Amino acid sequence: MIAARADLLAMHCRPTTAALDNAEAARLLALLPDWAVDNGRLARNYAFKNYYHTMAFVNALAYLSHNEDHHPEMTVSYNTCIVRYDTHSAHGLSNNDFICAARADSLYEARA
């Protein structure tokens, strides 16, 4: 059972995964306090000092996403990046979305 953010960070995305029910999604969302469910997708807005730092995060997240084979929608501007996850094949939120959200937060926290 996923009980902490560290559990999410220790996991990897699976190619086939089922959608979570609302109660499980809410429980996992509580592990990621800066995220919200917006229009059925897990979403977070990241703020940066400037365009260079924004793009460094976007490129690092793209690499991470490629390795997990689970890709977010990203909206990028000068000093913000909005990241949204959902699992199209599951028609909703899955464990993969929460795993990648935790990894994105870890990446953001590690920035210089």
Counting DSSP H helices and E strands in the chain, the numbers are 4, 4
Q: What is the pLDDT of residue 10?
A: 95
* Cβ–Cβ < 8 Å for 19, 40: no
Q: What is the pLDDT of residue 111?
A: 82
Cα–Cα distance, 103 to 65 (Å, whole number): 9
Number of independent structural domains in the chain: 1
* Cβ–Cβ < 8 Å for 29, 8: no
pTM above 0.85, yes or no: yes
Assign residue 78 the CATH number of its domain.
Answer: 3.30.1360.20
Per-residue pLDDT of the chain (112 residues; tens, 9 = 90+): 799 999 999 999 999 889 999 999 999 999 999 999 999 999 999 999 999 999 999 999 999 999 999 999 999 999 999 999 999 999 999 999 999 999 999 999 998 5
Domain that holds residue 34: 5-109
In 3D space, the residue among 41, 53, 43, 45 whose CA is nearest the CA of residue 92 turns out to be 41
Q: Hey, which residues does 74 pair with through a beta bridge?
A: 83
Q: What is the pLDDT of residue 104?
A: 98
